[in-house]
Amino acid sequence: MAIKLVTIDIDGTLLNSDRKVTPEVKEAIQKATKQGVNIVLATGRPTIGVMPLVKELGLDNEHGFIITYNGAMIQNAGTQEVLIQHPLPFEDYLDVELLARKLGVHFHAQDSQSMYTANRDLSEYTIHEAALTGIPVRYRVISEMTPDMKIIKSMMVDHEDILDEAIKNVPASYKEKFAMVKSAPFYYEILNKNATKGEATKELAALLNVKSDEVMAIGDNENDLSMIEVAAIGVAMGNAVPVVKEAADKITKTNDEHGVAHAINEWVLK
């Protein structure tokens, strides 16, 4: 069966080490698009951090789609209309924010407009996320956060050794209640249980009437694992973490070797 839908992670996958889309990757994506393949950027980034790439790749049309916030939101890439979303209930946001304080790690949360933190000692990784995606940071004490705010995802952020120790101490009940995944050495994302790249891939495929055996997914990190597992062809980047490579059906070249282009050319266009 021909591949009709390809979900592609951004950081470490679509982008090389210089955070650029190489001409080879751009060419392969545009060839696939012209052949009617749905190319979907699937990322932990907020919408604002995706749109420049959408425009660069020519995916900003009513037939294009993006999966953002690690699967918590599916949008039309051209209109930015939200098609499906799985926000984090306000009570759950309060619960995980308290957990972060108990575990002694920095924490921030995002809605569709901003990133919020109650940490006076602003984490360098919160600053990094804001710089990477373009989303503004707002300092808000918990009493200033209100139930009418639609929190889409939250993140524990800290130095790798501190964060890993905290993750070991997250109670099992939280892991059962939420979707929790490490998306970078210094990011641990906490979302609605239904918010994963895998679930979003299945939801979008259903919206587009694409069968499960017509889907390919490409990624490099643990937050890509769910979509690689649900795709008919799950592709790990050459620079992917070991657990992703183990789960993948195929392994492509690294992000500095135009791995996305290689995957599309080999398993979509041929």
Q: Which residues are catalytic?
A: 9
Whether the CA torsion 4, 10, 16, 20 is positive or negative: it is positive
Tokens coding 197:
């790249």
Tell me which amino acid residue 125 is: Y
For 139-160, letters b (16+ CB in 10 Å) and e give ebeeeebeeebebbbbbbbbee
Q: If you write DSSP's letter for every residue of 201-238 in order, what string do you get? A: HHHHHHHTT--GGGEEEEE-SGGGHHHHHHSSEEEE-T
Query: 122: how many CB neighbours lie within 10 A of its CB?
Result: 14
157's enclosing H/E stretch is strand 153-157
